[in-house]
Amino acid sequence: MAVAGETQPDIIVVGAGILGISTAFSLQQKGHSVLVLDRKGPAAEASRGNAGAFAFSEIIPLATPGMMRKAPGWLLDPLGPLSIPPRYAMNIAPWMLRFWMACRPERVEESINAQIELMAHSKHALLPFLKKTGTGSMLRRDGNLQVYESRAEFEATLPYWDAREKCAIPFEHVHGSYAISEYQPGLDERFVSATFTPEWYSISDPLEYVLTIAEVFRNRGGRIEVAEVVDLSPSLDGVNVDCVGGQSFNAAKVIICAGAWSHKLARKLGDRIPLETERGYNTTLPTAEFDLRTQITFGGHGFVISKLSTGIRVGGAVELGGLTAPPNYRRADALLAKAKLFLPDLDTEGGTQWMGFRPSLPDTLPVIGPSKQTNDVVYAFGHGHLGLTQAAGTASLVTELVDGEKPSINLQPFRANRF
Ligand SMILES: Cc1cc2nc3c(=O)[nH]c(=O)nc-3n(C[C@H](O)[C@H](O)[C@H](O)COP(=O)(O)OP(=O)(O)OC[C@H]3O[C@@H](n4cnc5c(N)ncnc54)[C@H](O)[C@@H]3O)c2cc1C
């Protein structure tokens, strides 16, 4: 039962990652009393250690014919950008089949169109959100430099840059190591071309960002409790939420933002959502001296280097290995070794390694919308590589749904029952 003396909230948000905390804050702004439940507390999982990018230009889904061409080569290298541990191969097969189906040109176009809308909305939502949460000083506008080792690698990306040009995303292609060094000195000369995206922003530290929003939410009367939700059921007056240890709550609406674990809660309401995790790795280096002027994306190697207030973070990779296997930090070692090769002056000693669970759906789109069983449960999860980028936008969409307003964008492509 809820603790005696504490009023029942209007709304319960399950999960205190960036999606849950942003959504709780946005609902609170609209006058709702909100309780956040997380089994570990704020920023315990993926939202803690990500690369910190607001990657608004990333409108191209991972599921593309180009990815299907690259994947077999990547899979041959056990420490390469993409891996499937053999023990998990059978488990991931149905998701892979859906991913493969999402690579059909008409599906790719649908995903791009949906991402264009969600990205534009998320970009529009970000600055007011930073202002309201008092986190504006954490924003960096350093852009992103995507680098290519060959003309062929660069040319293969051109159709996707054309798609970005059509929706007025600014970028600039540069060729030759001298021109590249104007954006980032010290890169190895193997990189012959690059694309700079100026409106790719970042946050000075993703962990501090979530913790600060959580603090602001609490200071304004919001509650965050450590509790693991095990069951959900519609009731006459909303939704019952049961937790480990017998604690239970009731609220008019429940929002599920439980990251890579969300599908387990959706199953309790009969929604079968093919959520998997793309495990990612990184190392945060304490080095403060290195002159990193922009985030750098090594697309052919599946990792990025970001400058944070806490150091330099080298991370990426996709390991389709499920939620329970221990981390394989040789993956983080492999990314760091490549970073040293590509930026020889980077001091790669003394770093801290981390692994996080990206919550991912096969078509690269999140789920934003109600359960098929009841409109009183709203899902907001599955943002994959883009959860930080799309959190403020998703939070405002969920708030519109809860308040019975017309959502700012068409949410059909994000519905829970699309699979
Ligand atoms: C290496 C790496 C780099 C990344 N870089 C970027 C980037 O630069 N930009 C970007 O936009 N995105 C990036 N991402 C993706 C981003 O981190 C995620 O999309 C985002 O953090 C997901 O947020 P979330 O709130 O949905 O999930 P999470 O942060 O995982 O939070 C889910 C929360 O739910 C809680 N929970 C789960 N089950 C229950 C339960 N039953 N009861 C109670 N609580 C529960 C968990 O404890 C957790 O706190 C990156 C990810 C990785 C791994």
- 157-199 residue pLDDT tens: 999 999 999 999 999 999 999 999 999 999 999 999 999 999 9
Q: Would residue 15 count as lying in a domain?
A: yes
Q: Would residue 217 count as lying in a domain?
A: yes
Q: Would residue 11 count as lying in a domain?
A: yes
Is residue 23 lining ligand 1, measured as CB closer than 6 Å? no
Q: Would residue 299 count as lying in a domain?
A: no
pTM: 0.96
Look at residue 315 and tell me whether its pLDDT is greater than 50: yes
Ligand 1 centroid–CA 203 distance in Å is: 15
Ligand 1 centroid–CA 214 distance in Å is: 15
- 361-403 residue pLDDT tens: 999 999 999 999 999 999 999 999 999 999 999 999 999 999 9
Q: Would residue 185 count as lying in a domain?
A: no
**Containing structural domain, residue 58:** 1-63+102-140+201-274+362-419
What confidence score (pLDDT) does residue 6 get? 62
Counting from 1 in the atom list of ligand 1, the atom nearest the Cα of 15 is 34
Is residue 269 lining ligand 1, measured as CB closer than 6 Å? no
Tokens in use for 216? 């602001």
Confidence of residue 287 (pLDDT cuts 50, 70, 90): confident
Ligand 1 centroid–CA 48 distance in Å is: 7
Tokens in use for 254? 């429940």
Q: Would residue 188 count as lying in a domain?
A: no
Is residue 141 lining ligand 1, measured as CB closer than 6 Å? no
Is residue 143 lining ligand 1, measured as CB closer than 6 Å? no
What length does the chain have?
Answer: 419
Ligand 1 centroid–CA 386 distance in Å is: 10
Q: Would residue 83 count as lying in a domain?
A: no
What confidence score (pLDDT) does residue 81 get? 87
Which of 357, 397, 356, 403 lies closest to 380, judged by CA?
Answer: 397
Q: Would residue 245 count as lying in a domain?
A: yes
- Residue 217: CATH number of its domain: 3.50.50.60
- 68-126 residue pLDDT tens: 777 878 887 777 889 999 999 999 999 999 999 999 999 999 999 999 999 999 999 99
For residue 153, what are the contacts with CB-CB under 8 A and spacing of at least 6? 193, 299, 300
| pLDDT, averaged across the chain | 95
Count of structural domains within the chain: 1
- 204-219 residue pLDDT tens: 999 999 999 999 999 9
